[in-house]
Structure 1
Amino acid sequence: MSNLEIKRSFSQKHPVLAVVIIEALLFLAVFAAGAYATIRQLSGTAPVLISFIPIAAVLALYFSLKKKWGFYGFRRLRSIPKQDLVYYAPLLAVLAVIALKGFRPVTASEVLFYLLFTLLVGFVEESIYRGLILNILLPKGIKTAVLTSSILFAVTHILQVLSGQSGFQTVLQIVYALLIGGALALLMVRNRNILPLILFHFLHNFIQYVGNDNSDFYLGYDLTILALLALYCIWLTLSLKKTSVPTPAEQSFN
């Protein structure tokens, strides 16, 4: 056995199993936190806080000990080529459409809480899906990595059923998450920078939390965003076909 084979990590040797383990652990953590929050009659955000805070700590520790921050996309924003900034414009359009729904009255303490809460969610979910899972599967091909990470990201949102929302809203949210996951994964493949994705995820969730409650009145906004995201994914896919995108191993992440 060569030295190269000896140094290969578990995720490199068994990428599919590694992804299954990561997703299973995430589900287990969220379900356990949800069960505890239900028993203790805690707020709706409690399960995420209980599960995501330790997950965020583990991720930060892993990235630091393994010196993997750069490898998983935590790079300076200026590393993104100026000509590629146009590919992030549709994300701003999505945020603008969501903001058109308006905002509900919130206190300063609520704003602070939701800022920290949505930043936590953005960091954890992007690190897991566009960081760990996407990179683990990239050796199997961009198509496999993007589709799998996006599908798993969408499947995770099935947990929203437990919040009591309607089946239609849940299906809409799953499709929504699938398209957003696809777009963010394609952006990650293209520019290897996860910071804009975390920023978008954070702002997207924050606007939703402080915005007006979802209802049939806002269905038109949701469908508009779905159409925009579908076209966005097609655009990004076509752009990647025209560009030679280096893999993580072919890039230097300092």
Structure 2
Amino acid sequence: MKKLYEKNELTFALVWIGVYCVLQSLANPLNEIIGIENAVSAVFCVVQAIVLFSFMQKNRLLDKYGLCKSSVSARQFLYYVPLIILATSNLWNGIMVNYSWLEMVCHIILMLCVGFIEEVIFRGFLFKAIAKDNVKTAIIISSVTFGVGHLVNLVNGSGMELVANLFQIVGAIAFGFLFVILFYCGRSLLPCIVTHSMINILSAFANQASLNVEKRMIFTLIEFAIILVYALILIKTLPKNRVS
């Protein structure tokens, strides 16, 4: 793994993305076989997260990929209040419990690891590898790749419907853009990992019963508005060398 990383960081990032998508796709039918939703997915993700963190720690890459305190004060990030609001988006249509207690435990473990893994491979590895040549291109590719990658949910046995998946893709591109701006400006992935994990964890309490297309569109537009305004504020107020 170290040899591949040293040879080509972009290839290393793409391999990690591919492995992650394949393992999660393989986990879904296994979840159905054992009858506990997210159980195998959680195990796969825990193993991946441990391997990933161990590799980064062993090779002293934690700071490079943002597993450190931000170099910018929380005040300059508006104390991350917009992120707190966005983290609650899955509860905007109401609250209901969607899993049994055991499935809930598996879901929480899975989503904590998903937040970590996806931020590291998309905002860390992929963005950093491309940003060496062009930061703007890296921001676009990191955001779009993260969103389009959610297409796998249509074919991996997760049971997601087309309309829900399309909204997920569009939302993921927007969140991917905000997260990469946060990482680039603050040099820390921790706010992105925490927000990403909380959004996913709270999906276990989302009320999907009355969530029609019109409501999805309204909620998505609200998310877009918050993301756009927050990103523009950061770009305008943070030091120029952070956002050039």
TM-score higher than 0.5: yes
Give how far 1:233 is off: 4.2
Structure 1 letter corresponding to 2:18 = A
Q: 1:111, 1:210 within 8 Å by CA — same for their partners in 2?
A: no
Q: Does 1:125 align with 2:123?
A: no
For 1:134 and 1:152, how far apart are their aligned partners in 2?
10
For residues 69-110 of structure 1, give each alpha carbon's deviation from its aligned partner in whole angstroms, at most 9, with x where no partner exists. 122111135x43244222733222223444332211477666
**What is the aligned partner in structure 2 of residue 164 from structure 1?**
159
Q: Does 1:22 align with 2:22?
A: no
For 2:134 and 2:79, how far apart are their aligned partners in 1?
22
Counterpart mapping for 1:204-219 below 5 A: 204-213=199-208, 215-216=211-212, 218-219=215-216
Counterpart mapping for 1:1-254 below 5 A: 10-11=4-5, 14-38=8-32, 40=33, 42-46=35-39, 48-76=41-69, 79-86=71-78, 88-105=80-97, 112-161=105-154, 162-213=157-208, 215-216=211-212, 218-219=215-216, 220-237=218-235, 243-245=240-242
Give how far 1:58 is off: 0.8
For 2:170 and 2:21, how far apart are their aligned partners in 1?
19
For 2:11 and 2:108, how far apart are their aligned partners in 1?
34
1:23/1:221 CA distance change after superposition, 3 Å: same
For 1:98 and 1:37, how far apart are their aligned partners in 2?
23
Structure 2 letter corresponding to 1:28 = V
User: Any stretches of 5+ residues in structure 2 without a counterpart?
Assistant: none
User: Any stretches of 5+ residues in structure 1 without a counterpart?
Assistant: 1-7, 248-254
For 1:224 and 1:191, how far apart are their aligned partners in 2?
25
Q: 2:96, 2:205 within 8 Å by CA — same for their partners in 1?
A: yes
Give how far 1:10 is off: 4.7
For 1:42 and 1:107, how far apart are their aligned partners in 2?
12
Larger of the two Rg values belongs to structure = 1
1:96/1:55 CA distance change after superposition, 3 Å: closer
1:246/1:168 CA distance change after superposition, 3 Å: closer
2:64 aligns to what SS in structure 1?
A: coil
1:244 aligns to what SS in structure 2?
A: helix
Structure 1 letter corresponding to 2:21 = F
Percent identity for Structure 1 against Structure 2: 22
Give how far 1:238 is off: 5.2
Give how far 1:122 is off: 1.2
What RMSD, in angstroms, separates the aligned Cα atoms of the two structures? 3.0
Q: 1:80, 1:193 within 8 Å by CA — same for their partners in 2?
A: no
* Structure-1-length-normalised TM-score: 0.79
